[in-house]
């Protein structure tokens, strides 16, 4: 293309990027130097979080409304994840224990992006390994997709030859802290250590 046309294209791209940055900043997502890889596509509003309706390990339907009055710490992943999820979920469990009695006001939640394998029963056993306080939620694929969309979680099924079932789930990995009213407070990026997570949660309990 011509130089002039290239400049116009570059300018439009810059404006789109700037608008996305402002939206994320308004949502408090990059105010602390974080960037949501999946929220950068310039989707209309910058709200993170929202309604979900999933299935707990006892087979009961659980919605976001059931956690009102508690501070929610929400993580999306899957139990067959080789490294990302185990790292973050271990940190989640450790943060809960660091908070001690104050964690009574906290609802740590692990939502699977792989309901095909992570049935409610599998989730129930898995969360015991993280911390007994963690609620593991599964659900039909449509309910999983709706919850992920509300939290702007990117995920995609991918072929993985080293997985026993031949597939894995690529996914964004953020831990979302949601207030007693269910509204977004802050986010912890992948690899955050337990002390950082606990310290970030404490003021809201």
Residues that bind Ni ion (CB under 5 A): 77, 81, 84-85
| Interacting residues of 185 by C-beta distance below 8 A, sequence separation 6+ | 28, 71, 177, 178, 179, 204
Q: Which residue is nearest to Ni ion (CB)?
A: 81
In angstroms, what is the minimal distance from the CB of 52 to Ni ion?
A: 19
Nearest to Ni ion of 72, 173 (CB atom): 173
- In degrees, rounded to 5, the angle at the alpha carbon of residue 49 between the alpha carbons of residues 44 and 55 is 130
Minimum Å gap between C-beta 29 and Ni ion is 20
The span from the CA of 184 to the CA of 34, in Å, is 14
Task: Report whether 68 contacts 182 (CB < 8 A).
Answer: yes
Q: Are 178 and 51 in contact (CB under 8 A)?
A: no
Quote the least distance from Cβ 194 to Ni ion, whole Å. Answer: 18
Q: Based on CB atoms, which residue is closest to Ni ion, 56 or 88?
A: 88
CB of 33: closest distance to Ni ion in angstroms? 23
CB closer to Ni ion, 94 vs 163: 163
Of 74 and 85, CB closest to Ni ion: 85
Pair type for strands 184-189 and 174-178: antiparallel
How far apart are CB 84 and Ni ion at their closest, in Å? 4
- Angstrom distance (rounded) from CA 63 to CA 60: 10
Select 51 or 191, whichever has its Cβ closest to Ni ion: 191
């Amino acid at each position: 293309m011509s130089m002039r046309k290239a400049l116009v294209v570059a300018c439009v791209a810059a404006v789109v990027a700037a608008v996305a940055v402002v939206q994320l900043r308004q949502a408090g997502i990059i105010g602390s130097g974080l960037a949501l890889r999946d929220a950068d596509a310039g989707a209309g509003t910058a709200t993170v979080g929202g309604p979900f309706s999933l299935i707990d390990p006892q087979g009961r339907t659980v919605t976001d409304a059931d956690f009102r009055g508690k501070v929610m710490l929400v993580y999306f992943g899957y139990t067959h994840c080789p490294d990302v999820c185990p790292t973050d979920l271990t940190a989640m469990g450790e943060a809960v224990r660091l908070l001690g009695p104050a964690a009574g006001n906290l609802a740590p939640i692990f939502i699977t992006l792989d309901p095909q394998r992570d049935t409610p029963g599998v989730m129930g056993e898995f969360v015991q390994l993280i911390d007994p306080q963690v609620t593991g939620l599964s659900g039909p694929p449509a309910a999983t997709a709706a919850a992920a969309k509300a939290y702007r979680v990117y995920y995609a099924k991918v072929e993985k030859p080293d997985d026993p079932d031949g597939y894995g789930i690529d996914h964004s990995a953020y831990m979302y802290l949601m207030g007693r009213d269910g509204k977004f407070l802050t986010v912890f990026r992948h690899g955050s250590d337990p002390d950082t997570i606990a310290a970030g949660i404490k003021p809201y309990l």
